[in-house]
Amino acid sequence: MKKILTLCFIFILMPSVSYSLEKSQDYELTQVLILSRHNVRAPIIYENILTRATNKAWPIWHTNNGNLTTKGRQFEINIGSYFRSWFDRKGLLRQDKCPDSKNVYVYANNQQRTIASAQSFITGAFPDCLVKTFYRSDMSEGEFDPIFASVITDNSEEFKRQAKSAMTEKLAHLDLAEAYKQVSMILDFKNSTLCKKDKLCDLVSYPNTMIISAGKEPLVFGPLGLATNVVDVFDLQYYEGFATNDVAWGTISTPEQWKTLNKIKNGYHAVAFTTKIVASNIAKPLLKYINLHFVQRRKIEGSKLLIMFGHDSNIASVMSALDFAPYQLPEQYEKTPIGGKLVFQRWHNKKTNKDYLKVEYIYPSVNQLRNGTALTLNNPLKQVTLSLKNCPIDGNGFCHWDDFEKSMQQALKDKVFVD
- What phi and psi values does residue 99 have, to the nearest 5 degrees? -75, 155
**Cα(307)–Cα(293) distance, integer angstroms:** 11
Mean model confidence pLDDT for the chain:
91
Q: Which candidate in 38, 269, 293, 311 is catalytic? A: 38
For position 94, what pLDDT does the model report?
85
Per-residue pLDDT for 21 more than 80? no
Per-residue pLDDT for 370 more than 80? yes
pLDDT above 90 coverage of the chain, percent: 83
Per-residue pLDDT for 16 more than 60? no
Segment (H or E) for 367: helix 366-371
pLDDT tens for each residue of 101-119 = 789 999 999 999 999 999 9
For position 140, what pLDDT does the model report?
80
For position 241, what pLDDT does the model report?
97
For residues 363-390, b (16+ Cβ closer than 10 Å) or e, as one string?
A: bbbbebbbebeebeeeeebbeeebbbee
Per-residue pLDDT for 218 more than 70? yes
pLDDT tens for each residue of 293-337 = 999 875 545 689 999 999 999 999 999 999 999 999 999 999 999
Give the mean pLDDT of 2-22.
Answer: 40
For residues 1-25, b (16+ Cβ closer than 10 Å) or e, as one string?
A: eeeeeeeeeeeeeeeeebeebbeee
The answer to whether the beta carbons of residues 319 and 332 sit under 8 Å apart is no
Segment (H or E) for 244: none
Angstrom CA distances, 149 to 22, 38, 245, 344, 413, stand at 35, 14, 36, 21, 19
Per-residue pLDDT for 19 more than 70? no
Where do the domains of the chain lie, and which CATH numbers do they carry? 18-47+64-150+280-412 (3.40.50.1240), 157-278 (3.40.50.1240)
Comparing 298 with 369, which gets the higher pLDDT?
A: 369
Report H helices in 173-254: 177-187, 193-196, 223-240
Per-residue pLDDT for 5 more than 80? no
For position 296, what pLDDT does the model report?
87
Q: Which candidate in 232, 312, 323, 400 is catalytic? A: 312
The answer to whether the beta carbons of residues 384 and 329 sit under 8 Å apart is yes
Residue 137, C-beta contacts closer than 8 angstroms, at least 6 positions apart: 110
For position 227, what pLDDT does the model report?
97
Per-residue pLDDT for 352 more than 50? yes
For residues 165-191, b (16+ Cβ closer than 10 Å) or e, as one string?
A: ebbeebbeebebeebbebbbebbebee
pLDDT band at residue 273 using 50, 70 and 90 as cut-offs: very high
38 is catalytic: yes
pLDDT tens for each residue of 163-195 = 999 999 999 999 999 999 999 999 999 999 999
For position 236, what pLDDT does the model report?
98
**Cα(175)–Cα(35) distance, integer angstroms:** 30
pLDDT band at residue 418 using 50, 70 and 90 as cut-offs: very low
The answer to whether the beta carbons of residues 104 and 302 sit under 8 Å apart is yes
Type of residue numbered 66: G
